[in-house]
Chains A and B, each alone.
Chain A
Amino acid sequence: NAGVTQTPKFQVLKTGQSMTLQCAQDMNHNSMYWYRQDPGMGLRLIYYSASEGTTDKGEVPNGYNVSRLNKREFSLRLESAAPSQTSVYFCASSESRLAPGAQYFGPGTRLLVL
């Protein structure tokens, strides 16, 4: 049982390049989330998916798109990377669709945009 996994662990991009961050969970959770963490700050929600086939915007969605490929996988895409998107990206999942449940986080992806 690996929990929540993310790839890649680290990535360097040039301004304007695109990339997709991958996330998968093996806990059969319904809900999945993408957060970003900037230096010295807590996490902020980018997008979330309450169930397979649905996605919604969080606090800071601009510049990102997401795909809930199936129940296990939730990807985050940067179409045209900007230096302001330099951050650490965390994926999380939780088990309950109808009640607040504990969220479990992946190890993070460190992204540097030059």
Chain B
Amino acid sequence: GIQVEQSPPDLILQEGANSTLRCNFSDSVNNLQWFHQNPWGQLINLFYIPSGTKQNGRLSATTVATERYSLLYISSSQTTDSGVYFCAVPRFIKAAGNKLTFGGGTRVLVKP
């Protein structure tokens, strides 16, 4: 099956700093999701981004499907950005529904 790898595994930021998280995948995909799991365990959809670039406030994401990677940018980080960031890619299951394969996550801690 497809392999999804994220880097770095851990990231410590000073509040206000910028950072880039990377997601590599081993096979071609036709979409990709980024999630933020906050310290309370809730999984929040950040982006659904099969290709190109999307922006949502201080966060943006770029997927280059032909080169099998996606990047998540956090600008002007805030303490509320702390948590674990996951990327996930779907695979069809029997031509119905889709299965998400998750990367191992990047754990981010933003210090005040």
Contact = CB atoms under 8 A, between A and B. Distances in A.
A26 to B, nearest CB: 16
Interface of B: 30-31, 33, 35, 41-43, 45, 48, 86, 88, 90-100, 102-105
B43 A105 contact: yes
Contact of A31 (B42, B88, B98, B103): B98
30 contacts: A31-B96, A31-B97, A31-B98, A33-B97, A33-B99, A42-B86, A48-B97, A48-B99, A50-B94, A50-B96, A54-B96, A56-B97, A92-B100, A96-B98, A97-B96, A97-B97, A98-B95, A100-B90, A100-B98, A101-B98, A102-B31, A103-B88, A103-B98, A103-B100, A104-B45, A105-B42, A105-B43, A107-B41, A107-B42, A110-B41
B96 A102 contact: no
Nearest to B30: A100
Contact of A49 (B35, B86, B97): B97
A100 B41 CA distance: 25
A107 B41 CA distance: 7
Contacts of B33: 102-103
Given A42-B102, A43-B102, A102 B48 contact: yes
A16 to B, nearest CB: 27
A50 B86 CA distance: 24
Nearest to B37: A37
B99 A58 contact: yes
Interface in A12-67: 30-31, 33, 35, 41-45, 48-51, 54, 56, 58-59
Interface residues of A, number: 33
Nearest to A94: B98
A48 B92 contact: no
Interface in A61-114: 88, 90, 92, 94, 96-98, 100-105, 107-108, 110
Contacts of A51: 96
Query: Which 10 pairs across A and B sit closest by C-beta, in order of nearness?
Result: A42-B102, A50-B96, A50-B97, A100-B90, A102-B48, A31-B97, A105-B43, A100-B98, A100-B31, A43-B102
